[in-house]
Structure 1
Amino acid sequence: MIPNLSRRGLLLTAAATGLMGAAPGLARAADRSAILATMKRATRFMTDTVAVGDGYVWSYTPDLSRRWGELEASPTMIWVQPPGTATMGNLFLDAYHATGDEDYYASATRVADALVRGQLPSGGWNYVIDTAGEASLDRWYDTFGKNAWRMEEFQHHYPNATFDDVTTQDAANFMLRIWLEKRDARYRGPLDKAIGFVLESQYPSGGWPQRYPRVPDGGLHGNADYSGYITFNDDVSAENIKFLTFCYQSLGERRFLDPIRRAMDCFIATQQPSPQPGWAMQYEVGDLEPAGARSYEPRALATHGTAGNLDQLMDFYVLTGERKYLARVEEGIDWLEAVTLPELLWRDGKKHSTYVEIGTNEPLWVHRRGSNVANGEYYVNKDPRDIVVHTGGLRSIDVAGLRARYAELAAKTSAQASAGSALLAEPGAVALPRYFTTQARRVSDLNSGSLRATASRTSAERVDTLVAELNAEGYWPSLLASTSNPYVADSTGTVALGEFRITRVGDASDTSPWLTDFPQEGISTGVYIHNMGELIEALGPA
């Protein structure tokens, strides 16, 4: 699972909000009418041909005979996890803001209705919604889900919602936006349920679990009930803080301030003491001790998680002007520098192990044996050879960038750093971003990788290319680098011939996604969102 939205999406100062809300209107070779026509034709293909129950998955074969979210989906399923249904709703609202075309607003309301139908009684969302009902969803979990060796979060159908990969947060942000757009009463109730879910699921310490309500029978695979641990994985806390801040900005209710503050303070409380002032990805709820999660996520400190949390603490200083959030940032940066690997272990600019052993500062490496979910297992040791690739055993940590940002912020007074902060302004004084899908944003979709490859502006040449490359059917043909084995039969205890120690996928029974050397052309929801964002940017202010 990837996620990690850019931290810049959390800086809700007036200046940052302005940058996110403005389309620069760059020089363009294609005229405005050609851009609008391209956007409209691409959107009609998605809404009229691709959508199921007004929802979307991540990618499709050209004949729509196979389709995928993070796993292969059944024909009746839609994906909530970005870049899925909620992300599409946000894109339609962005297109509406850029063009004023009511067709985009109508498309957004259809997405909202699909999400309302799939919203759980708790107020949150699962990764997926099956438009054919729970029995159909149970069949999918009992076939594709349970046989996906490395996808442990999909191996059981638990009747609760997830914050993983920004799933509930993306849907909640969209429900906030669609209600604010025209104050349609249909969406206030679902929005209030989503807000209630985020507030109710927060622990007194300020952290959030991966899933809620807590599963009654012992959690997912790996460590016991890890889905109930306080988690920083996939920016769960940061994304919930962002959503609640958006609510404070737009709804004008001070009740959001205490949950936001407690959430920020949880970052301080969970930073470990010297000489290892980093963070784990999960923590026990009671004593805030580091914890493991999935069977390939050991109890350890995480270098990428530490870097992300240090960035978040600096964001919190910008949001609040309170220097307590900077107090141990430099200490954490020094630790990241200290655990840089020996040069002989560097690969492709990655100089840090993902996991560092608590107490020793030694790197931990994840391995596996077997060939599928029934006979395979993950294990951790200190041997850097033959590590599994799907967990990202090595990380690229921009220590110098963290240090430079810290120095810049530390030199500012509290008032200078927090000027224009949405948290310090009166409710309603700072507007929400006008566009949500034109920012650089990483997602778990291996076929699109990012909703924007860079945060750079769209060139005139690029606009011409987008207009020209939309095909006769109405989509941008995309090479689907990610594929999966179709479900044929359940995995067995017999280890198949072959070498599966370091691969993404096991034997033929493993339904996990994997990167193929022979990608086939197909339809990508993420590519549609990415390209539409570039065209929206090229249009300039509406």
Structure 2
Amino acid sequence: MLDRRRLLAGASALAATAAFPARAAAAPSRAEVLATMKRATAFMVDKVAYQGGYVWSYLPDFSRRWGELEAKPTMIWVQPPGTATVGHLFLDAFNATGDAGYLRAAEQAGGALIRGQHPSGGWNYVIDLAGEESLRDWYATVGKNAWRLEEFQHYYGNATFDDAGTSESMQLLLRLYAQTGDKRVKAALDRAIGFVLDSQLPVGGWPQRWPRAGEFSKQGRPDYTGFLTFNDDVAGENIKFLIMAWQVLGEPRLLDAVHRAMDSFVTTQQPAPQAGWGLQHGPDLKPIGARTYEPTSIVTHTTANNVAQLMTFYELTGDARYLARVPEALDWLDQVALPAALRVDGRTHPTFVEPGTNLPLFLHRRGSNVTNGVYWADHDPVGTVGHYSSQRKLDVAGLRRRYEALKATPPEVASRGSPLKAGRSPLPRFFATRPVEVSDLNSNRGAAPAAASEAARVAELVAGLNAEGWWPTMLKSTSHPYRGDSPAEVAPGDFSRTLVGDATDTSPYVTDTPVVGISTGIYVQNMGVLIEHLAAD
């Protein structure tokens, strides 16, 4: 649920350890591109995968590996860009080449996800294929001591909609079923659809985690995971999946759930003059705090995202209700924009706005680890935490232009071609070649300069694959190995703005001494470039 995970992963990132050879004047032959793709994939499937699944990055000798946190050798990651992301890439490669080996690899990734599917039908952030006892041990050690990753500090034993892991896994199963008609995949897909429908709240949205699995509080705050969640586009991801499932399966119950979900955006919009939304909303439908650095507030980037969603809903349905209160939300965003003196790196708005006062809230922390560390929010913009931005860059003017254009567009024109009205239809051929909205903590950093042309870029990728079959990547993100529980004593130093605390904090951080490694994100990105090249050939 970390904010930085929504950064664009940088589809042009190469992040190689050494300079690529001089750019070629022409792209390699189709046969050379196909051979490169096949070698890179053989390495991932034969050397990197664990029972068909993947984490985010690996040392070359596989002595350490990471997802959001350091992983055991028996673990695979569900959060993108994890197992389902790679599975989508394999299906894309199959659609581009017709090579059945890619389809088998996609089925293996899907099989790993099916083995780790929660009985409710959803997925957790991570799967430990060694079993429940091993996973609980990981949560009680690595997860428990990750100071800033509070979502990993407690093992709920249920499934989550956070970070699109469940959504992406469901989409992969849907694509696999549409491609193969496999009955085992269909059974898992049916469980996933049941998970989405059964967990939908009466108001139409979804909680972050489901089913409820006991209460857990942090610093005296209530467990937030059962509240209606907009953070990380939980509702938008579920709506997207349900529409895709409707296109493939044509089941009317899926459309009913879509309409209820879209209506939840209207129902939960707060009254003027603070006509926005929170990251999460409580039973009274008012914004409520989540993690200890996510205070009860009206949230600007969530409001901007929900405004964009409402305009998309108008394009899907032609229903003017979805546009009715958009101007109120845009006016509120204009009212709370930061003064020029507080704008950092072009960020225009505070992340959090205090209910009632319209004052910005800024995040701070003290201490050195999960045991002695404390977060709080106040009105002081000085010394804010470094891992969760107190400010956002929002294009309110662009949203307003889109609103004005849609307002002038008749409903029947705006919704022409809507998948809600088109009935059953095929899914797109390619998924992983679309812009990536997540990062494996390495694939969006230290990117090599973009090639002068597509041909040069493809040539670089073909030349840059090493003899073993992987693209060397500087792993700029690392973590402290688990050394035991964090002590109550505060370690020397100032950790108020760092990504990581003292040596007992298992949170990932950017290291001054990066090492060469294997990046799942780089594999997906580079393969996507080669697939697009083939598709355009």
Q: Are residue 443 (structure 1) and residue 469 (structure 2) matched? A: no
| Shift in Å, 1:480 | 1.3
| Shift in Å, 1:461 | 1.3
Alignment-derived partner of residue 478 in structure 2: 483
Q: Measure the CA separation in 2 of the matches of 1:350 and 1:122.
A: 40
Deviations 1:413-457 (A, max 9, x none): 1111111100012x21x321211111112115221249x999999
Q: Are residue 126 (structure 1) and residue 121 (structure 2) matched? A: no
Greater mean deviation of Cα atoms: 323-332 or 305-314 = 323-332
Greater mean deviation of Cα atoms: 214-223 or 50-59 = 214-223
The within-5 A match list for 1:100-119 is 100-119=98-117
Alignment-derived partner of residue 513 in structure 1: 508
Q: Secondary structure of 1:515's partner?
A: strand
Given that 1:153 and 1:220 are in contact with CA atoms closer than 8 Å, whether structure 2 keeps it comes out as no
Q: Measure the CA separation in 2 of the matches of 1:536 and 1:123.
A: 32
Alignment-derived partner of residue 15 in structure 2: none
The AA in structure 1 aligned to 2:498 is T
The AA in structure 2 aligned to 1:338 is Q
| Shift in Å, 1:408 | 1.9
| Shift in Å, 1:278 | 1.1
Alignment-derived partner of residue 150 in structure 2: 152
Q: Secondary structure of 1:62's partner?
A: coil
Seen in structure 2, the aligned counterparts of structure 1 residues 200 and 456 have a Cα distance that, compared at 3 Å, is: farther
The AA in structure 2 aligned to 1:268 is V
Deviations 1:214-269 (A, max 9, x none): 12233667731200000000110000000000011110111111110010011111
Q: Measure the CA separation in 2 of the matches of 1:197 and 1:524.
A: 31
Alignment-derived partner of residue 210 in structure 1: 208
Q: Secondary structure of 2:147's partner?
A: coil
Q: Secondary structure of 1:226's partner?
A: coil
The AA in structure 2 aligned to 1:406 is Y
Greater mean deviation of Cα atoms: 493-502 or 479-488 = 479-488
The AA in structure 1 aligned to 2:420 is L
Q: Measure the CA separation in 2 of the matches of 1:522 and 1:67.
A: 10
Q: Measure the CA separation in 1 of the matches of 2:527 and 2:476.
A: 21
Q: Secondary structure of 1:126's partner?
A: coil
The AA in structure 2 aligned to 1:223 is R
Q: Are residue 167 (structure 1) and residue 157 (structure 2) matched? A: no
Which of 498, 519, 536 is the equivalent residue of 2:531? Answer: 536
Q: Secondary structure of 1:366's partner?
A: strand
Seen in structure 2, the aligned counterparts of structure 1 residues 455 and 175 have a Cα distance that, compared at 3 Å, is: farther
Alignment-derived partner of residue 333 in structure 2: 336
Q: Secondary structure of 1:228's partner?
A: coil
Tell me the TM-score normalized by structure 2: 0.93
Tell me the TM-score normalized by structure 1: 0.92
The AA in structure 2 aligned to 1:536 is I
Q: Measure the CA separation in 1 of the matches of 2:132 and 2:348.
A: 45
Given that 1:439 and 1:455 are in contact with CA atoms closer than 8 Å, whether structure 2 keeps it comes out as no
Q: Secondary structure of 1:423's partner?
A: helix
Q: Measure the CA separation in 2 of the matches of 1:219 and 1:79.
A: 25
Seen in structure 2, the aligned counterparts of structure 1 residues 441 and 457 have a Cα distance that, compared at 3 Å, is: farther
The AA in structure 2 aligned to 1:401 is G
Given that 2:371 and 2:487 are in contact with CA atoms closer than 8 Å, whether structure 1 keeps it comes out as yes
Given that 2:279 and 2:302 are in contact with CA atoms closer than 8 Å, whether structure 1 keeps it comes out as yes
Q: Secondary structure of 1:169's partner?
A: helix
Alignment-derived partner of residue 357 in structure 2: 360
Seen in structure 2, the aligned counterparts of structure 1 residues 131 and 433 have a Cα distance that, compared at 3 Å, is: same
Given that 2:451 and 2:457 are in contact with CA atoms closer than 8 Å, whether structure 1 keeps it comes out as no
Q: Secondary structure of 1:514's partner?
A: strand
Alignment-derived partner of residue 22 in structure 1: none
Given that 1:245 and 1:256 are in contact with CA atoms closer than 8 Å, whether structure 2 keeps it comes out as yes
How many corresponding residue pairs? 518
Seen in structure 2, the aligned counterparts of structure 1 residues 222 and 123 have a Cα distance that, compared at 3 Å, is: farther
Seen in structure 2, the aligned counterparts of structure 1 residues 281 and 349 have a Cα distance that, compared at 3 Å, is: same
| Shift in Å, 1:28 | 6.1
Q: Secondary structure of 1:227's partner?
A: coil
The within-5 A match list for 1:180-195 is 180-195=178-193
| Shift in Å, 1:518 | 2.9
Given that 1:28 and 1:459 are in contact with CA atoms closer than 8 Å, whether structure 2 keeps it comes out as no
Q: Measure the CA separation in 1 of the matches of 2:154 and 2:448.
A: 33
Which of 313, 324, 345 is the equivalent residue of 2:310? Answer: 313
Seen in structure 2, the aligned counterparts of structure 1 residues 458 and 527 have a Cα distance that, compared at 3 Å, is: farther
Which of 378, 388, 402 is the equivalent residue of 1:405? Answer: 402
The AA in structure 1 aligned to 2:60 is P
Structure 1, unmatched stretches of 5+, are 7-26
Q: Measure the CA separation in 2 of the matches of 1:405 and 1:458.
A: 32
Seen in structure 2, the aligned counterparts of structure 1 residues 539 and 229 have a Cα distance that, compared at 3 Å, is: same
Deviations 1:40-69 (A, max 9, x none): 111011011111111000011111111100
Q: Measure the CA separation in 1 of the matches of 2:489 and 2:289.
A: 28
Q: Measure the CA separation in 2 of the matches of 1:502 and 1:155.
A: 20
Alignment-derived partner of residue 299 in structure 2: 302
Alignment-derived partner of residue 17 in structure 2: none
| Shift in Å, 1:531 | 0.8
The AA in structure 2 aligned to 1:530 is Q
Given that 2:7 and 2:439 are in contact with CA atoms closer than 8 Å, whether structure 1 keeps it comes out as no
Which of 136, 139, 161 is the equivalent residue of 2:137? Answer: 139
Query: Percentage identity across aligned positions?
Result: 58
Q: Secondary structure of 1:438's partner?
A: coil
The within-5 A match list for 1:274-285 is 274-285=272-283
Given that 1:222 and 1:293 are in contact with CA atoms closer than 8 Å, whether structure 2 keeps it comes out as no
Alignment-derived partner of residue 177 in structure 1: 175
Q: Are residue 419 (structure 1) and residue 416 (structure 2) matched? A: yes
Q: Measure the CA separation in 1 of the matches of 2:515 and 2:460.
A: 21
Q: Are residue 351 (structure 1) and residue 348 (structure 2) matched? A: yes
Deviations 1:391-413 (A, max 9, x none): 11111111122122112222211
Structure 2, unmatched stretches of 5+, are 9-24
Alignment-derived partner of residue 52 in structure 2: 54
Alignment-derived partner of residue 13 in structure 1: none
| Shift in Å, 1:77 | 0.6
Q: Are residue 386 (structure 1) and residue 400 (structure 2) matched? A: no
Q: Measure the CA separation in 2 of the matches of 1:93 and 1:437.
A: 9
Q: Measure the CA separation in 1 of the matches of 2:449 and 2:294.
A: 30
The within-5 A match list for 1:62-77 is 62-77=60-75
Q: Measure the CA separation in 1 of the matches of 2:436 and 2:288.
A: 28
| Shift in Å, 1:83 | 0.4
Alignment-derived partner of residue 292 in structure 1: 289
